[in-house]
Structures are given as structure tokens and as C-alpha cells.
Amino acid sequence: MIYSIFTIPLVAVLKLLGVIRRQEYRFEDMRGKVVVVTGSSSGVGLCTAASLHASGATVIMACRSVERGERAKKEILEDWERRGGGGGGGGGRGGRGGGGSLVADVGLEPHHGGQLIVKELDTSDFDSVRSFTADMKESFSELHVLVNNAGTNGKDASTPQLSKQGRDYVFETNFVGHFLLTLCLEGMLRRARGRVVNLSSVMHHWGTKDVTRTLKSARRKNSYRDSKLAMLHFTAEISRRWKGDVAAIAVNPGFVSSDIWRGVSRQGVKGWLFDRFLSFLALCPAEGCATSVVAAAMQLNSKEEGKAGGGQASRKKEIQRTRHECLYLVPYVLPAGIRLPFEVMGPFMHPRWATPRLPAGEVEISSRFWEMCEEVTGMKG
């Protein structure tokens, strides 16, 4: 961490000198496309929804609380009007509440005509997931983008230990509920030749090596990091099982100052230091959503799913080198491809491809894990 702090000024100078360049991407025309963003009432999800709404998409804000979702919708619309209906820049430091826009500054062209629709969804509750997907199928025939963003780190005292199904609440909220959601929406995604964007994290590096073990216990202290590793296995397996119809991209939002830290105590000296730490070093939500927005809107090569419009050749070499097909975007510069410590908290720049840490035998593990998740969610057969 200290090492990465010292490198930030150096990388900033290299950026000014043109040695390190912003990675540019070609984007789809998002006007009229249907997008679901889970957990979009605050933080990264809120700014993801705001950014895609600004591009002209119809965004379904899938929120655990409809009341909070409606407040978030109002905030997005006020931000849209404040920026002159698409004019001006986006994604300044501060994001929500800091004087900056809610919209990520990734080069996605703004368009009028975007819609925001709030629907109830609790990814920890399988009944809620099935109710939401039934509603979606009645309302729309196709789904172009599914952003599996909702999550919790379990540090809030009000967070339950167990889900309604009697399993680990954090793992169920962050991953298993999204697995069920994605499979329930498979037909809509295939019809649109859509894509799935899965929120992972640098914490996946410390996840349980054999992810299939994560479904076997009710309560675990490592459930957050395991859920983020599970998202990578899920992304890789979607790319194989649904190849040609649905693309899948995993993203790391970075170290973001958002509501996910609301459970961390702000009392005393430690609380004061943590607040200063967030203020000086964390990304704002409008920066943290950049990887999600790029993954949702970038052009993909229709002949070879997963090869992105920007940086295609380098990513192809990465896939050959790592022997897996999990596409993974990070918000930081990784000098010489060094993942740690830069992936924890490196110099923020335009989203770029990186190599996730997946275990040897990933193909077999991911396939077995998928089948186990089908059994757990009742989607087997």
C-alpha cells in the first residue's frame, strides 16, 4: 500500500509526458437498450445507473428498497438537469455529495431519451429474485445488459448472518442471488445478444482457492472475498457456456468511498483516521463505476465474443497466456502488469484490461461450481 502511494506521483508525471496513455474504447449506441443495474440506490450502482441513463438507455434500477430507489432516481434526474441534460463533463472528484456529477467520465456520448424504472429486488432472497425476473419478462422481451452490482461486506451491525434460505447472507447477496438472477434472465439476454457485467474486487486474490467449498457452510468470515472470486469463475463459465449469444465481463471498481463502508465505526481516533484515509485515497462512486460503464457499453467483436473494441490484440495475448477466458477490467494503471499492490489502490486512470488470479484447473472448477450453484438455486435441469 505504501509503495503504491509513492508511485502515484510518478505515474501522474508519466501520464503528463504521454508515456502512459488513457485507454480508449469504441462504444455501442445505448439509446433504447434495456439495462438492469442491481443495487443502484447508492454508491457505484447509483452512478452506473446515472451514466447509462445519460447515454439514452432504459435503466431498471433493481433495489432492495423501492423507497430508496425512488430517491436515487430523483437524484439522478436532478443531476441530469443540473448538467443541462447531458452537457458538461462527468465524474469529477467527489461523485455523490461531493459537488461532482454522478456520471462517469469515460467518453460515452450523452443522449436524451433515457428512462429510469425502479423495481424491487433483494438478491439475498430467492423468492424476490424470481418475482423480479417474472416482472421483467412481462415488461420486456429482451435484456441488453445485466450489471450484477449489488453487494455488502457484512460489516454493518444490521446485516443478517443468514439469508432467507439459511445460508451465508453476504455470499448469497453478492453472488448466489446474482447467479439465480442471471440464469432466470438467460432467454432475454440471448435474444438481445446481450452481456453480463459482474462486480468482482481486488479481494478475489484472497478468496478460497477451491470455490466449490464456499457453498457448504452457513456462515464464514471470508464470504466477501469468496463472493468476489466466485464472480470471476461465473464470468469465465458464462463465456464458455453461452458463447456466441451472451458476453460476460468482470470488473473491479477499485477502492471506492461508498455506502459499503457504512458499517465501519467513525468513533474516536480510528474513525477519524479512516475518514481521512477515504477522503485522500479512495475513488468517488462516479470514478468507481467507470469499469462497469465501460464493460456495459463497449463494442465487442461479434465474430469472437469477448474481444473488446479497445485493446483487442493485447487482451487476446493475455487470454492465451493465462489459459482462461475471464475478461477483467480494473480502474488503475498496473505498471508492467504487476497486480499487487497496484490493483489494491493504484493510480486511477481509464479502465484497462488486467489478468485476474484464478487457480490452476479453473475450467474444471468453474464448471463444477456452476452445476453446484444450479442445485442450490433449484435451476438444475
Return the active site residues: 224
Residue 231 resides in a domain: yes
The CATH number of whichever domain residue 266 belongs to comes to 3.40.50.720
Q: Find residue 348's DSSP bridge partners.
A: 332
Q: Which three cell numbers stand for residue 272?
A: 477519524
Per the domain annotation, does 367 fall within a domain?
yes
Which candidate, 94, 112, 230, places its Cα nearest to that of 171? 230
Place of cell 440464469: 183
Whether residue 93 lies inside any domain: the answer is no
Backbone torsions φ then ψ of 103, nearest 5 degrees:
-90, 135
Q: Are 251 and 198 in contact (CB under 8 A)?
A: yes
What nine digits make up the cell of 101?
Answer: 456529477
pLDDT for 313 = 45
Task: Give the whole-angstrom CA distance, residue 247 versus residue 330.
Answer: 18
351 domain residue, yes or no: yes
Nearest residue to 48 via CA among 64, 27, 62: 62
Planar angle of CA 225, 102, 19, nearest 5 degrees: 75
pLDDT in tens, the chain (381 residues): 444 455 556 666 666 666 667 777 899 999 999 999 999 999 999 999 999 999 999 999 999 999 999 999 999 999 999 988 765 445 444 443 344 799 999 999 999 989 999 999 999 999 999 999 999 999 999 999 999 999 998 766 677 889 999 999 999 999 999 999 999 999 999 999 999 999 999 889 888 888 988 887 666 778 999 999 999 999 999 999 999 999 999 999 987 766 665 655 556 666 656 555 555 567 889 999 999 999 999 998 643 344 444 444 444 444 443 456 799 999 987 766 766 766 666 777 789 999 999 999 999 999 999 999 999 999 987
Report if residue 315 sits inside a domain.
Answer: no
CB 11 within 8 A of CB 342: no
- Does residue 41 lie within any of the structural domains? yes
Full domain range(s) for residue 341: 3-81+103-299+328-377
Distance in angstroms (rounded) separating the CA atoms of residues 32 and 56: 6
How would DSSP label each residue in 173-232? IIIIHHHHHHHHTHHHHHHHT-EEEEE--GGGGGS-SSGGGGGS-S--TTHHHHHHHHHH
Pair 251, 200: CB distance under 8 Å: yes
What integer pLDDT is reported at residue 319 of this predicted model?
A: 41
Spatial CA neighbour of 33 closest among 48, 52, 61: 52
Number of C-beta neighbours around residue 303 at 10 A: 7
Q: Is residue 309 part of a domain?
A: no
Beta strands in 193-332 (DSSP E): 195-199, 247-251, 327-332
Rg, C-alpha atoms of the chain: 19
- CA–CA gap between residue 241 and residue 356 (Å, rounded): 20
Record the cell numbers describing residue 45, joined without a space.
450502482
Residue 32 counted as domain residue: yes
Question: Judging by DSSP bridges, how do beta strands 145-148 and 195-199 pair with one another?
Answer: parallel
**Minimal CA–CA distance to 258: which of 156, 355, 339, 358?**
156
Whole-prediction pTM value?
0.86
Count of domains for the chain: 1
Predicted pLDDT at 281: 67
The three grid cell numbers given for residue 367, joined into one nine-digit string = 464448471
